[in-house]
Structure 1
């Protein structure tokens, strides 16, 4: 048995070495921190003896840390905002990413297609701090470009950071602008892998571009669309902290439409310093995400076994 293991190891050592950095990363940042979830059930108090000593000897408080999320007036608001925004991100992100990938794949000039792809991919690498300043340059009351345009047409300047009316649309637009280029790469790679003879046969039969997309591209993209959607569903209770904190500039008058679980926990942690509370929130999000992925995958497997994630 041992000899067989070492033979297999020696035969695949190059591949195993390639996997090693990723495996170490997951071990250090995904698996070892799981021990820290104990803090969700403790009144964590850091002492001079170090993190682990403090974690073990802190007072057990049961489910009290979870009550912070559910026993406040903001509980319904932050849950509603987190869910509705993520549903919008999943649906609109999917539609826009697939549409963009199809458009890029249809460009005859491949050098131009690469230029467009690079331009739309670039925002993904910008931090939310920079994106927040970009948004401020458009929405500033005094020097914002958007208010200057409105003034040109005789419309009074708007105090964008004091009026929550338009912020759901602003946040969705900013999210799509930043992420759509990255998301479309996966679908574009899948489209480029489709057998070209299928399109050639469709053209001989007189199919239009729209018919080719509807009858060839989209059906063959269905498995990857389902997988990406299932992975996104697992994070439906997570919110992009930078988007909801940096872009609205932490404006208190916008909390009704910008306050989500992550920003709420951050403000609570900053105010009270309760590490147990923030750990409880993270554990709650992870458990709900896990359950949603399992349920969604079960439904998909019942409808189409080959399209399921596992």
Structure 2
């Protein structure tokens, strides 16, 4: 019996545990890679099915990419995508780590679990529901925020027509929805830190801030680096629900809410250009992959133990 079969039989239990995840990745991550060839074709659907249509479609090379970046909105959607992702990555990191530290310092652990559950719940809400929540606050006629503004004698604001407010609104909503979830990772890492380190620091007279600065944050740096590297890999992806459902697809807000994902969706909905949509997705994936490789290389040069691979 070969060594490969021996190892297969020896690790059969672990391999069976991995099998559902492997099947999922094969069908939803690896098998669709074949369809990326549509980015280089003038795809035309026929009754013969997707694959037959893909093979018979005309090869156009880089034309789909040229069309994507030759539009007047190319710079706008790229700028918006990068701006929002950089802001959400940075602020999300700061607030998630801060929240995890605060939760770990609570003496009443039952109360800490209650807070943790309450901040974790928004992550499970769909963007459609979140969009209606936001609308209940920002509605021109019956929005709670406009009612509060009216009580102070000010004129109501047409939130869905004023683009200048929406960068702040979108960033706030994104942080509100994801911070609780992200803080769980950091909280788990904090709870895994050896308590004797804090006890020794307390004996030496270290304040709580000194303990956080000299023990907690340095020991959290590897997981912070890994989470940031993973986030950088999706820096050219925008959360479609956040930028489409929350602003309610308001045309007057496109200057600040239009990102690559929403632009491609609207283009696909109106023109049906599958090739251009595939080209945009391929562009996002390749750029994200390159950014992860470069970022990980820089991290390895600084601290090898903190790198992703």
Classify the TM-score, shorter chain. over 0.9
Aligned pairs for 1:130-279 (under 5 A) are 130-279=129-278
Q: Which residue of 1 aligns with 2:91?
A: 92
User: Is the counterpart of residue 60 in structure 1 residue 55 in structure 2?
Assistant: no
For residues 232 and 185 of structure 2, the distance between their equivalents in structure 1, rounded to whole angstroms, comes to 17
For residues 68 and 98 of structure 1, the distance between their equivalents in structure 2, rounded to whole angstroms, comes to 42
CA deviation after TM superposition for structure 1 residue 15, in Å? 1.1
Question: Paired residues, what number?
Answer: 309
- SS where residue 237 of structure 1 aligns? coil
For residues 269 and 51 of structure 1, the distance between their equivalents in structure 2, rounded to whole angstroms, comes to 16
For residues 2 and 236 of structure 2, the distance between their equivalents in structure 1, rounded to whole angstroms, comes to 47
For residues 288 and 107 of structure 2, the distance between their equivalents in structure 1, rounded to whole angstroms, comes to 41
Q: Which residue of 2 aligns with 1:37?
A: 36
CA deviation after TM superposition for structure 1 residue 46, in Å? 1.1
For residues 166 and 110 of structure 1, the distance between their equivalents in structure 2, rounded to whole angstroms, comes to 38
For residues 221 and 132 of structure 2, the distance between their equivalents in structure 1, rounded to whole angstroms, comes to 38
For residues 26 and 80 of structure 1, the distance between their equivalents in structure 2, rounded to whole angstroms, comes to 31
Q: Which residue of 2 aligns with 1:82?
A: 81
**TM-score, length-scaled by structure 1:** 0.99
Summarize deviations over 1:156-206 as a string: whole Å, max 9, x none: 100000000110000000000000001001000000000000000001111
Q: Which residue of 1 aligns with 2:10?
A: 11
For residues 229 and 217 of structure 1, the distance between their equivalents in structure 2, rounded to whole angstroms, comes to 18
**TM-score, length-scaled by structure 2:** 0.99
Summarize deviations over 1:201-224 as a string: whole Å, max 9, x none: 001111111110000000000000
Range moving further from structure 2, 61-70 or 74-83? 61-70
Summarize deviations over 1:124-151 as a string: whole Å, max 9, x none: 0000000000000000000000000000
RMSD over aligned Cα atoms: 0.7
For residues 154 and 9 of structure 2, the distance between their equivalents in structure 1, rounded to whole angstroms, comes to 72
CA deviation after TM superposition for structure 1 residue 8, in Å? 1.8
CA deviation after TM superposition for structure 1 residue 7, in Å? 2.4
Summarize deviations over 1:199-257 as a string: whole Å, max 9, x none: 00001111111110000000000000000000000000000000000000000000000
For residues 101 and 14 of structure 2, the distance between their equivalents in structure 1, rounded to whole angstroms, comes to 33
For residues 69 and 229 of structure 1, the distance between their equivalents in structure 2, rounded to whole angstroms, comes to 28
Structure 1: 5+ residue runs without aligned partners?
none
Summarize deviations over 1:9-65 as a string: whole Å, max 9, x none: 222111111111111000000000000000000011111111111111100111111
- SS where residue 131 of structure 1 aligns? helix
Summarize deviations over 1:68-93 as a string: whole Å, max 9, x none: 32111111110000001000011000
For residues 69 and 61 of structure 2, the distance between their equivalents in structure 1, rounded to whole angstroms, comes to 15
For residues 181 and 28 of structure 1, the distance between their equivalents in structure 2, rounded to whole angstroms, comes to 30
